[in-house]
A and B are shown apart, each in its own frame.
Chain A
Amino acid sequence: MDHAGLPLQTVLEQLDILGEEVVPVLRKDFAALRPPHVPDAPTHAARLAARTSEQVVEQR
């Protein structure tokens, strides 16, 4: 987005388009097309939640 000497103002305008027009469509369509067996990416939040639930199980 900010490569090859693009002025900052141009970069920020492109980000407006990306965030407001492109990514919402990508989110919607990727979610709709995702097969049930494909997991979410292993984010910190997801791994933390998994670890916390394991510890809860161990404590029982």
Chain B
Amino acid sequence: MQFGIFTVGDITPDAHTGRAPSEYARIKATVAIARKAEEVGLDVFATGEHHNPPFGAPANPPVLLAAIAAQTERLVLSTATTLITTNDPVRLAEDYAYLPHLSDGRMDIMLGRGNTGPVYPWFGKDIRSGLELAVENYALLHRLYREENVTWQGKHRTPLSGFTSTPRPWTGCRARKRSSSARSASGSMSGITSASSS
């Protein structure tokens, strides 16, 4: 069993002083809270995803969690939740495959639909299709993680033809993958080359 905390990142005035923290202070405080969670021996830190005031801090969970990953050693980083309705599943596949690489696999993703109607059209969606979006997007995300060559057609985003989501999910088997797969070995070498030349 794992014990942890999660935040919704609300920017709310202090009841005693009547003053609300700045977005900067709230975001930095969120990182400090996550570091403290590791220090006192908790297992998990999770962040919600919100796009409307007063929820300023967790508008971008993968960026927040990457910063926390860089400042922690063993804390599991999770979303609580990631919006599977209004986020493009291709974008989600990329973000949440990248983060496990940076954090050595210390990442969980939790998916939810989102219950705030006005958020949907900000991302080109309609809450009346919320359930349908969740089902379609989840099924696509599931395939993008497991299949390297995805041809797909659905109702709510443009079709995909022979698409490979990158980076591939972190498997935790770095040594074995290098020795058993010429394709992944050359892929990682070209990655190093382009990074050092840019």
Q: What 1/0 flags go to A39-59 for Cβ under 8 Å of B?
A: 011011100100010000000
* Contact partner, A16, options B1, B12, B13, B40, Cβ 8 Å: B40
User: Which size bracket describes the interface of A in this complex?
Assistant: 20 to 34
Inter-chain contact total with CB atoms closer than 8 Å: 77
C-alpha spacing A58/B32, complex, angstroms: 46
Chain B: interface size category: 20 to 34
Instruction: Say whether B33 contacts A2, CB under 8 Å.
Output: yes
Known: A5-B12, A5-B14, A20-B40. A15 touches B108 (CB 8 A): no
Which B residues lie at the A interface, using CB under 8 A? Answer: 1-3, 5, 7-8, 10, 12-15, 20, 29-30, 32-33, 36-37, 39-42, 76, 100, 105, 107-108, 171-173
Other CB < 8 Å A-B pairs besides A5-B20, A15-B36, A23-B41, 14 of them?
Answer: A2-B33, A3-B7, A5-B15, A11-B33, A11-B36, A15-B5, A15-B33, A15-B42, A16-B40, A19-B37, A19-B41, A19-B42, A23-B42, A44-B172
